[in-house]
Amino acid sequence: MTGAEAIESFLIHYDLKTSFSAQGFTNDEILLFLNNAQDQFIKDKVFGENFQPPVFADNQKRVVDVLPLVKRDYIPGIITDSLYGSNSYEASKGVMFSGRTLYLVELEAKVTRTNPIMTAEYVRCEHIKTENLGRFIPSATNRTYFIYPKIVEDVYNYYIICDYYTTLISEVRATVILRPYPITATSMEFDGTYSNLYMSLDTSVHQEIVDMAVAAALQTSGDKRYQTKVHEDQKNTN
């Protein structure tokens, strides 16, 4: 679909659901529903619907559905950082893909260490919860030992925490999901180009996004048919 076709599909399916008896929406309002649905679609694919399994890495279809937004690249300019102890590093999100990173899928670091001995070998990093940070920050009294570096992040950076035996991280690469460009009335059909001129996701998922937008519109308008649709979707899922 193009952006204009997505708007038209929304109108058709919304009218069918309401038997032409519900309030109308302007194009701007429809685009708001469509873009909210696109964001929710991506979130569901990455984290699982309502944060329930299977999640992104455990389901190949979920990967395929958002594949146009999955990118892998090196993060240049990593620096040492003492925020999380004397053996931690900072990698900026903003230097990748013009700052359009939405979710991190995987981060790998090129590690040199003394126990076990590694020289510039890539290992995967592991996310940890902030409440567990104290267990992983090396110090004079905490000679930590873990082969896989730990990650915490904020809005702007990834922070990589290494153990006592890691002497250097020389390079970092990340697999990320990019932020989709907004659907507009002038968006052209998806052709693999990541640009604000084109739809960001493959044509195969556009109708699903439209259906999610229609459901949200029914809910917003307080239409009782929304509950009927929820029950129908639950039956289809079961």
Cα separation, 41 vs 150, in Å, equals: 29
- pTM to 2 decimal places: 0.83
C-beta of residue 39 within 8 angstroms of C-beta of residue 183: no
Q: Return the pLDDT at 47.
A: 85
- What does the DSSP 8-state code read for residue 20? T
Tokens 């694919």 locate to 45
The torsion defined by the Cα of 199, 200, 203 and 208, in degrees rounded to 10, comes to -100
Q: For residue 188, what are the β-bridge partners?
A: 198
pLDDT value at residue 58: 52
State residue 140's pLDDT score. 76
For the four alpha carbons of 117, 120, 122 and 128, in that order, the dihedral sign comes to positive
Handedness of CA 99, 134, 56, 40 (dihedral sign): negative
Mean pLDDT by 10 residues, the chain (238 residues): 96 83 83 97 84 55 85 94 91 92 94 96 94 85 91 93 95 96 98 97 96 93 56 46
- For residue 116, say if its preceding peptide bond is cis, omega within 30 degrees of 0: yes
pLDDT of residue 41: 95
- DSSP-assigned letters across all residues of 151-193: EEE-SSEEEEE--TTEEEEEEEEEEEEEPPPPP-TTPBPPSS-
Helices (H), 48-195: 60-65
* Sequence ranges of the domains in the chain: 3-66+201-237, 69-178
Q: Rounded to an integer, what distance in angstroms lies between the CA atom of residue 102 and that of residue 178?
A: 5
